Amino acid sequence: MFSSKIKGSLDSDALAFAAASGATDIRGLSYFARGIKNLGLWPSTVCWPLRSAQNAGTGTIAYSLGGLGAYNGTLVNGPTWGANGMSLASGSGQYISFPTMSGFAGGVYCGSVHSVPVVPAPARGISIETTSGQVGGMWAPFSDGAAYWDCLTTVGGRISATSGAVANVINMWAGSSVGTSLYRDTTLLVTGGTPTSMGSTFDRVQFGRSGITVTFTGAVTMIFIGTAGVTQSQHNSFFSLYKSTLGAGLGLP
């Protein structure tokens, strides 16, 4: 247990998250939460730290952290908790489902830290869609010959960027400034399309599954979604913050 003096030095939102989830890496969560607040991204961001010490570490709920609200994820078909992230296997139909989201008038900023053991292989990561069809959103990665990030916006069309046919990638990120920029780590891969907001209410927000057939094989350490676009400088700061706090020990570049 933390003494009252130590508790007073920790972020109150991180403490509340740890109390709800059972997470034990309270210092890492506190430093990360304070950093997000210093970047001005806390009110528009929700994330799911998925290393076992940084979330429940057991059971079927992936607790959410962030000022956007409570969006606890549900583990479907038995994804496995681990010290460096959550493992999913496409043959078992494993994925994470999140509650309905809206409020993307300011754009979208989303991504994940993950590893994929085999490339090429279909591997759908984040999906922000509607059950009636892929009318808008961003998903990444999807590999069919090379790993690449893919972005679909309601108006701006589709852009993608090859990030290299490599396995065991633990440093893949997708970022969007109103739906038009894709990143890997701090490298801007491509910009394109027409800047646009995403005005729909998205009732199929998932990691590892889109529709029925496209799934993810690998491990995911962190997922985040923001309801506002960011600058490249903000993206780079976000990545550096994660690397030095919740991502410590993962070997991120």
Q: Quick one: DSSP state of residue 134?
A: -
- Give 142-191 pLDDT, tens digit per residue: 555 555 666 665 555 567 776 655 555 566 677 766 557 788 888 888 88
Q: Which of 14-18, 82-86, 192-196 has the lowest mean pLDDT?
A: 192-196
Q: How confident is the model at residue 2 (pLDDT cuts 50, 70, 90)?
A: very low
Quote the CA–CA distance of 53 and 22 in Å, as a whole number: 8
Instruction: Note the pLDDT of residue 4.
Output: 42
Write down the domain spans for the chain: 9-244
pTM of the model as a whole:
0.90
Helix axes of 12-21 and 26-38: crossing angle, nearest 10 degrees: 140
93 HSE (CA, 13 A, CB side): 5
DSSP 40: T
The one-letter amino acid code at 5 reads K
- Burial class for 89, CB neighbours closer than 10 Å (0-12, 13-18, 19+): middle
pLDDT for the residue 180: 72
Closest-CA residue to 55 (of 46, 65, 45): 65
User: For position 153, what pLDDT does the model report?
Assistant: 57
DSSP SS3 for 251: coil
CATH number for 9-244 (one of 2.30.40.10, 2.40.400.10, 2.60.120.200, 1.10.8.60): it is: 2.60.120.200
Cα 106 from Cα 162, distance rounded (Å):
26
CB of 75 within 8 A of CB of 61? yes
Place of tokens 């429940």: 56
What the block records as the tokens of 72 is 């606890």
pLDDT band at residue 141, thresholds of 50, 70 and 90? low
- Closest-CA residue to 84 (of 58, 51, 118): 51
The pLDDT of residue 123: 65
> Which tokens in the block code for residue 67?
């000022």
Given this model, what pLDDT does residue 150 score? 67
pLDDT at position 3 is: 43
Q: What is the pLDDT of residues 47-87, one digit of tens each?
A: 999 999 999 999 999 999 999 999 999 999 999 999 999 99
DSSP-assigned beta bridge partners for residue 82: 51
